[in-house]
Structure 1
Amino acid sequence: MYSGGFYPFPDKETFWAWWSRHIYFNRYIKAPNPVYDDLINLVKDKNYFVLTTNVDHQFQLAGFDKERLFYTQGDYGLFQCSVPCHNKTYDNYDTVVSMIEQQEDIKVPTELIPRCPVCGKPMTMNLRSDDKFVEDEGWHKAAERYSSFIAENKDKSIVYLELGVGGNTPVIIKYPFWQLTAQNKNAS
């Protein structure tokens, strides 16, 4: 699924046929395995915060408190201007569902291709893939909540649990967690 996002689709109608399904099944449908449910059961009665590079919102779908989540790399559930001409994002659920319902021959109707309401340029997913990523108001509020959590717990007994962080973005979670652990004798 990941590599499909880089495929050179022949036109925007085919591009959005693929992306609408990708977004729908990865963002709006709960994962069919118990991993996120098991995690929430481990932390639900604890002081926790989730910093994630995942863009699928599976933590939220499993019941994690939205105020204790920071999706640093974006959200499949949001569109943003591809330019971007402004720092605002837009919920895409209704558009994605319409694309899925109305596509034929692996193409969405041209009129469903999302356009920026400000400049008219094409919309894109709110995914950090280049310097055009929109850090909207919600992103900044989540970043502040995460920073506050780290500051409030910096000298306390704490576990920094890193799960599945690969080699692409170690500076977001892996390396900071190593540094925070090295700076606090009460951290693991």
Structure 2
Amino acid sequence: MTSAALFAEAASLIAKADGLIISAGAGMGVDSGLPDFRGNSGFWRAYPALAGARIAFEEIACPDAFRRHPRLAWGFYGHRLNLYRRTLPHLGFAILQGIGARLARGCFVFTSNVDGQFQRAGFPEDVICEVHGSLHHLQCMEPCGHGIFSADTYVPEVDEEACLLTSPLPRCTRCDALLRPNVLMFGDGEWLSQRTAGQRRRLEQWLRTTHRPVVIEIGAGSHVPTVRWFSETLGEPLIRINPTEPDIPGRGVSLAMGGLDALSGIRAALDRQGFPG
């Protein structure tokens, strides 16, 4: 089937829906210039200092890294926080917003990304579920009861060549212990999940009021399959956008291409079909 035919099929699924579920993995940010850590090779290209030390993604993205090498761990996460703050979301975010705005029940986002790009693109906070947390929030390394709080006032200074934090380490105002991002890391039994749990409850409530949803999944791989599992277990028509792993197990459309190209093609097909907006 040609790309035009696939776009038309995807557009038909959307036109029949009353709500849009946007499920997004790391590939969603690629068109904005964000790195996609697909295996150590991609990770090490983005962080050559960690490549030189042969430190894998799973070794730096874990709570123990903050205990063993806090300046290295915060060098990695501080760089990412600064990168996310200055990155502008690509046009695909606006296309998804426009589609959701034309459906009776709107849209809801389910994402494993911790970059805050959906909020930065203008999606309301109450229609986003960040299943792995957010780098824009912090928590204490100790169980002091401080809870989860915004990282807005924390501005890390990082030696990017060495991947090391050069500014003071962030400290808890309650107990003076080290702070860490409120993101679910590898081997992480310490992550505070209350914020994400509240988001998940809002998502489940939205799903109960939506009768004909369609799922558009962008850039969700099988290495960390949280988003793919979510998309597939809903039992709804699925439009999967993934240049390397596009296959779907049930009803839907498979688009083996990047997010922005696919969403632009779908938007054009909706225009041709007279979809409002």
User: TM above 0.5, one fold?
Assistant: yes
Contact map agreement 1:84 1:134 (CA 8 A) in 2: no
Q: Is the 2:157–2:165 Cα contact (8 Å) retained in structure 1? A: no
Tell me the TM-score normalized by structure 1. Answer: 0.76
8 Å contact from structure 1 (residues 30, 62) kept in 2: no
**Partner in structure 1 of residue 26 of structure 2:** none
1:116 aligned onto 2:168: no
Instruction: Give 1:51's aligned residue.
Output: 110
What letter corresponds to residue 158 of structure 1 in structure 2?
Answer: P
Greater C-alpha radius of gyration:
2
Sort the Cα spacing of 1:38 and 1:123 in 2 relative to 1 into closer, same or farther, 3 A: same
Quote the residue 2:221 is aligned against. 166
1:35 and 2:89 correspond: no
Paired-residue identity, %: 20
Q: Of 17, 20, 25, which residue of structure 1 is paired with 2:78?
A: 20
The answer for the alignment partner of 1:152 in structure 2 is 209
State the distance in 2 between where 1:182 and 1:35 align. Answer: 22
Q: Distance in 2 between matches of 1:152 and 1:48?
A: 12
Q: CA RMSD in A?
A: 3.1
**Separation in 2, partners of 1:87, 1:131:** 17
Per-residue displacement from partner, 1:79-125 (whole Å, max 9, x unpaired)? 111234436112122222xx33999x95423xx21122333321111
Indicate the residue corresponding to 1:177 in structure 2.
Answer: 231
Contact 2:132/2:183 (<8 A) preserved: yes
How far is the alpha carbon of 1:18 from its aligned partner?
4.3
SS in 2 for 1:49: strand
CA distance in 2, matches of 1:11, 1:60: 31
> Matches of 1:19 and 1:178 in 2, distance apart?
31
5+ residue gaps, structure 1, are none
Higher share of residues assigned strand = 2
The higher-RCO structure (CA 8 Å, 6+ apart) is 2
Deviations 1:113-165 (A, max 9, x none): 112233332111111011111113x3332111101012222xx2210222111
Paired residues, what number? Answer: 175
Alignment TM-score, normalising by the size of structure 2: 0.54
